[in-house]
Amino acid sequence: SCSFCGKVLEEYNFATEPQFVKDSAGQSKLSGNFVRSVQAISDSRRRTLDYASEQMSGMKNALQIDDYSDDVVHTARRFYEIGLERNFTRGRRSELVQAACLYLACRYELGSVYLQLCYVLYLADGKDLQKLIDPSIFIHKFTNALIPEGNDEVVKTARNILASMKRDWMQTGRKPSGLCGAALYISALSHGLKFPKSE
């Protein structure tokens, strides 16, 4: 029904018992459609998740990720389940979604170990773990090397991209200069400047 005026837009009547109607030839026919039970849907989803889990386990073995990392497959399965619930898998090749979930689980695992190692090695105190090296310190240097006359809009967009990477934990465990280069490349392209990746 319309949330504004309350008009009924679609209406379905469900019955627990079958009903029969006569068609134009006088034949009795079953009226309505069969609706799958919630149990059938959950069984199907479980089979899909089990298959995806097997596939991700196979990918893990092919990549020679150690046996102790079964937790990574479990985490990847959970990511896949969330994607399945939000219809992320629809229209996408299942092996690509499975590989992305496994990659995300590995990055999640590595990121937490990386931060713990920094803390143990006294490379940063508890508050400043994410501020080891800020990639944005390279922006002006790289921009001047790429665009000698400078471009404030490209710099601003690159900073926004780096901030987004930081929020999404994409910079953890990556070279700050590489992140800055990637952000600058995307920023330059978005402002219509054509540069090869090598530059």
CA 138 to chain centroid: 28
Q: What is the pTM of this model?
A: 0.43
pLDDT in tens, 44-101: 888 888 999 999 988 888 888 776 566 888 888 988 998 888 888 888 899 999 998 8
Domain boundaries, the chain: 43-121, 136-191
Topology annotation, domain 43-121:
Cyclin A; domain 1 (1.10.472)
| CA atoms in the 13 A half-sphere facing the CB of 38 | 0
pLDDT in tens, 95-139: 999 998 888 888 777 776 767 777 777 665 545 544 556 777 778
pLDDT band for position 38 (50/70/90)? low
DSSP per-residue string spanning 46-86:
HHHHHHHHHHHHHHHHHTT--GGGHHHHHHHHHHHHHHHHT
